[in-house]
Amino acid sequence: MKKLNVAVIFGGPSQEHDVSVVSAQQLMDAADVRRINVVPVYMDFEARFMHGAKLRDVAAFRPRPGGLREVTFGWDDMGPCLKSTDGKWRQGIDCALPVFHGPTGEDGRIQGMLEIIGIPCTGFSATNSALAMRKDATKAIVATAGVNVLNHVIANKATLRDAEALRARVDAEVGYPAIVKPANLGSSIGVGIAKDAETLIALVQAVLRQDSYALIEPKVDPLVEYNIAMINEGGETRLSAIERPKTDADLLDFKEKYMASSDGGPPAKGSGGKLGDAPALSQGMLSLTRDINPDIPDALKARIHDFARKAFSVLGMRGAARIDFMHNPDTDALYFNEINPIPGSYGFFLWEAAHPPLLFSELINHLVAEAIGDTLKSFEDPVPEGAHLLPR
């Protein structure tokens, strides 16, 4: 069996740079060495691509290792490849596997670049990545498939010029307390609770210092979160285990999500299962405390599965996305919250606990095979004869 060269791309000029580095290390540790040769590619804060052996040592990141060569993605007579900018080094690649979170890498820009070049890329397409990153756009799309969503209001800098009108609209359509969060960021970065009209404007201003849009929606209270991942297997949606995050905080913010440890110690690194290993539940996403496969009513589980399949069907049916849901146990209402095209740690701990289990190595193999199987670069003239305006 030919080993595939897979460019694992991570880092980037994003608020979630550090999470991306950790997720990528976990994925590269778990890759099936019999089938995949990992080619690490780091994007620095200036959006330059870098390659070097030190990228496999997470301890060398300060925030990036030294001794790296700058590289570019391209296509030459031998196929898709990485090349050093000085022209002295070349590495053929079969596929690119982005492990980004947030802007630049998860929002379709990297995917669009690779699609133009013709390099097979795992996960959502550029278009679906961009749609999934805009929480308000995503909600509008999944609602058409019959998935419940919360009412929301979108604000930007232009909206803030008439703060009174914004307050009136939120009061009428959302109410208080309200959740205020960036429309384009993940990992719970910048999320806050507006308890009244006065704190609303301050929170929106804070969000708009990080993102171009703020999303304002009702606070579900009491709130229980449920997360589930999915892949497309032969045209059918295969679902992971369900996750129920645990927290004592009013809001699961960035630090609570990524820095909390179930035993009070430092964050743990989960590498995922290797092929041949017995499936074992791993920490993943550093050490967020969670219940995996929680004991919930069959009817609620069925609704989570139903909404997940419906949302995935209109948001790409590709990659290994994770959907986050909000549930009010008092009213039994279930709402779609957001979809993560590239979830932290690729959600491997959810797949290891699925029935049947899917090891991280097997998940990576699936992603790579899917990308290679449906990507084709054409060198033919794309303009149909009837649209020729220039001589051929």
Backbone angles phi, psi at 241, to 5 degrees: -65, 160
Q: Given a cut of 50, is residue 268 above it in pLDDT?
A: no
> Is the N-terminal amide bond of 356 cis, ω within 30° of 0?
yes
What does the mean pLDDT of the chain come to?
A: 89
SS3 for 326? Answer: strand
CATH of domain 153-218: 3.30.1490.20
The DSSP annotation for 192-253 comes to: EEE-SHHHHHHHHHHHHTT-S-EEEEEPPSS-EEEEEEEEEETTEEEEEEEEEE--SSSS--
Classify domain 132-148+222-373 at the CATH superfamily level. ATP-grasp fold, B domain (3.30.470.20)
Q: Give the architecture (CATH level 2) of 4-123.
A: 3-Layer(aba) Sandwich (3.40)
Read off the pLDDT of each residue in 352-363 and give the average, rounded to a whole number.
96
Q: Are 87 and 74 in contact (CB under 8 A)?
A: no
Residue 261: what pLDDT? 38
185-220: per-residue pLDDT in tens? 765 678 999 999 989 999 999 999 988 999 999 999
Of 234-238, 275-279, 327-331, the least confident: 275-279
Q: Given a cut of 80, is residue 278 above it in pLDDT?
A: no
Read off the pLDDT of each residue in 100-112 and give the average, rounded to a whole number.
91
> CA dihedral in degrees (140, 146, 151, 152; nearest 10)?
-20
Residue 190: what pLDDT? 80
Q: Which residue has the tokens 């604000």?
A: 155
Residue 377: what pLDDT? 80
Q: Are 208 and 214 in contact (CB under 8 A)?
A: yes
159: alpha, beta or left, given left = phi > 0 and alpha = psi -120 to 50?
A: alpha
Residue 379: what pLDDT? 82
Neighbouring C-beta atoms of residue 339, cutoff 10 Å: 26
Domain limits, the chain: 4-123, 132-148+222-373, 153-218
Read off the pLDDT of each residue in 332-342 and give the average, rounded to a whole number.
96
Write the burial class of residue 2 (CB in 10 Å: 0-12 exposed, 13-18 middle, 19+ buried): exposed
Residue 149: what pLDDT? 98
Continuous H helices in the chain:
17-30, 109-117, 126-133, 135-143, 163-173, 197-208, 254-259, 298-314, 348-352, 360-373
